[in-house]
Structure 1
Amino acid sequence: MDLKQKMELAYDTKIDNFGNKIEFSYPNETVAISTTNSECFLKCAHCNGHYLKNMTPINDYENKIKSKNVSSFLISGGCNFDGDVPINKHIDTLKKLKEEGYKLNAHLGLMDEESINKVCKYLDIVSFDLVFDKDTIKEVYKIDKNAQDYITAYETIKQNTEVAPHICIGLKGGEIKGEYEVIEYLSNNPPKKITFIVLIPTKNTEYEKVSPPDLNKVADVLCSARISLPNTEINLGCMRPRGEYRSELDKIALMCGVNKIVLPSRSAKNKAIEMDMNITEGKECCVL
């Protein structure tokens, strides 16, 4: 079928399973904290540590929340050379945050089984990037890992807490490579929720000069996910290009049957009204 037909099927699938509703998320009550400050060993091709600079260092989080209404935390950080985020060194902080009643989401990366077992006791959910294409893993993350390494970590986390797979569309310099394989894998045991993000060509990274993936190709991936995962909540996450690209992407995502859009563009809000959708708003990270 062509893309127009696929979008119609995807949207009908969403209506059949979730109704004509959309959530717009404005995660002001979630604080993102980094366990490595702004440091990352891997210097990945798409990030180079840039996005860690917007996070609060884990040792400073108490000062950060004094003047804010905070209900949850996203705990992340830079990866080491094995591809895992060293959250396991901050078990005491995780325990303290849980005892104080906060909801916790975390990026663990390719953490080992023992550490996963310890850390997940305190986590409500894990956001886990699934990447299957070996060339992409090597080019972007600079590590010698493969799809099975990601599957092993994902399945281990699943045994310990809820996990929301994340797929970055166009991760390999704007190319679509491996995304459909991840969707096919997930369709065999569908998760409760999944988040899609889209490559942002970021200044001072190897991918600074690339173009984000073609919008029609992004739409096709989103539709494939909606059709293959009819009962899974599909989020369009905060990490996606801004400007005109985001304006068009957000409208397309509505028509592809997503359930939630983080920090939606004005055009998406107008489109949702035009489509007579039942709009709700959230105040936390998209998987919480």
Structure 2
Amino acid sequence: MCKHCGGKLLERLIPATTCQELERKALLLHRQGAKGILLTGGCDRYGAVPIDRFIPAIRAIKEKTDLILIAHTGFISYKEAKALKGSGLDGIGFDVIGDVSTAREVYGLEVSEKEYIESLRAIEDSGIMVFPHVCVGLHFGDLRGEFHALELIREIKPETIIITGLMPVAGTPMAHIKPEPSDFEKVIKRAIEMFQEIPIVLGCAHSSGKDREEIEKIALKSGVSGIAAPTMKITGFAHESGYEIHYYGTCCGLVPCEKTRILIS
């Protein structure tokens, strides 16, 4: 029930609340041609998503299919991360907030900077690919802690870094709040400057309407490696501007590969 989501984002997802249900639905999606699944959900009052209780299902899915399985775990221990690695989980997306007052006022979590660092290290030490996410404007549309979040990520070597942005969700206390597109430019450029050997990607959550198109153009010009769920307008702009464009049907945290490439005639 975070202020920016209120549980609304979970309503559009495919529910699976038991191992049996997750395995059954995953196998069905695989038969229908799915390449992978993102396992996510609401977190508890400590900021953890209970993905570890689905380890038997994850193991069964990986044994029976070639699906790519990515998870949002929230805060996690090394023991939990190692168990998820053993189950075959391919990667973890982890939100990093650089200002604990934002975690408290938006997420309702009483957490410390140390807990973010410990979770990042636990995931890396377990051997699972980690894709840290930094959300622009999460503090009621304002920049607060985004640059420090990037500093925290320096504690590890991530696979990619995902820059997202506050999404206005109808029916929530923050439904009419949008971050400034110019703030995305500041964060993206800082990330590219700090992590020159790591792909910086604009994630699928990055505002809406004309702001979304403007943010995508800013990201493209700033030098991102990819844009998730791009608008038709930005793909047209990229084509007209001489960019070489490739399409991939995958989670934005994964480095593109031929398995997930979409051929456009």
- Given the two structures, how large is their TM-score scaled by the length of structure 1? 0.81
Aligned mates of 1:81, 1:140 — CA distance in 2: 13
* Structure 2 counterpart of 1:231, one-letter code: E
Higher relative contact order (CA 8 A, sep 6+): 1
Choose the corresponding residue for 1:280, options 246, 257, 262.
246
Correspondence for 2:54: 90
Q: Share of identical aligned residues, percent?
A: 29
Contact 2:120–2:156 (Cα < 8 Å) also in 1? no
* Structure 1, gaps ≥5 residues long: 1-42
- Secondary structure in structure 1 of the residue aligned to 2:218: helix
Question: What residue in structure 2 maps to residue 32 of structure 1?
Answer: none
Q: Given residue 259 of structure 1, which amino acid in structure 2 is its aligned partner?
A: S
Q: For 1:263 and 1:64, how far apart are their aligned partners in 2?
A: 24
Check whether the contact 1:56–1:64 (CA below 8 A) recurs between aligned residues. no
Q: State how far apart, in whole Å, the 2-side matches of 1:154 and 1:70 are.
A: 29
Change in Cα spacing, 1:172 to 1:64, as seen in structure 2 (3 Å) is: farther
The answer to whether the 8 Å contact 1:72/1:102 transfers is yes
Distance 2:151 2:78 in 1: 25
The 1:53/1:182 distance shift into structure 2, 3 A limit, reads: same
CA contact (8 A) 2:131 2:253 kept: yes
1:115 to 80, 96, 101: 80
Could you list the per-position Cα deviations for residues 223-273 of structure 1 after superposition, in whole angstroms to 9, with x for gaps in the alignment?
111111111111111112221111111111100110111111122112211
Map 1:225-236 to 2 at 5 A.
225-236=191-202
Question: How many pairs align?
Answer: 245
Q: Structure 2 CA distance, aligned partners of 1:276 and 1:154?
A: 37
* Contact 1:133-1:146 at 8 Å conserved across structures: no
CA distance in structure 2 between the aligned counterparts of 1:76 and 1:44, rounded to whole angstroms: 15
Give yes or no for contact 1:79–1:85 (8 Å, CA) kept in 2.
yes
1:152–1:275: structure 2 CA closer, same or farther, 3 Å change rule? Answer: same
Q: Note the residue ranges of structure 2 that are not aligned, 5 or more in a row.
A: 255-265
Q: In structure 1, the residue corresponding to 2:164 is in which secondary structure? A: strand
| Corresponding residue number in structure 2 for 1:141 | 107
- Aligned-pair Cα RMSD in Å: 1.6
Give the direction of change, closer, same or farther, for the CA distance of 1:169–1:249 in structure 2 (3 Å limit).
same
Cα contact 2:93–2:132 (8 A) shared by 1: yes
Separation in structure 1 between the aligned mates of residue 79 and residue 108 of structure 2, nearest angstrom: 24
Matches within 5 A, 1:232-251: 232-251=198-217
Contact 1:132 1:146 in 2 (8 A): no
Give CA deviations for 1:199-222 in whole Å, capped at 9, x if unaligned.
012112121232x11111211111
1:101-160 Cα offsets, whole Å, 9 max, x none, are 211110010123322221232211110111120110101111110211111111101111
Distance 1:112 1:187, change over 3 A: closer
Aligned to 1:55, the other structure's residue is in SS state: coil
Instruction: Give the equivalent residue in structure 1 for 2:257.
Output: none
CA distance in 1, matches of 2:26, 2:62: 14
Distance in 2 of aligned mates of 1:262 and 1:64: 25
Matched ranges for 1:37-56 at <5 A: 43-56=1-14
Indicate whether 1:181 and 2:120 are aligned.
Answer: no
3-state SS in 2 of match to 1:252:
helix
Residue 261 (structure 2) aligns with: none
Alignment counterpart, residue 208 of structure 1, candidates 175, 189, 192: 175
**Superposed displacement of residue 169, structure 1:** 0.7
Aligned equivalents of 1:219, 1:268: Cα separation in 2: 16
1:2-49, Cα deviation, whole Å (9 max, x unpaired): xxxxxxxxxxxxxxxxxxxxxxxxxxxxxxxxxxxxxxxxx1111111
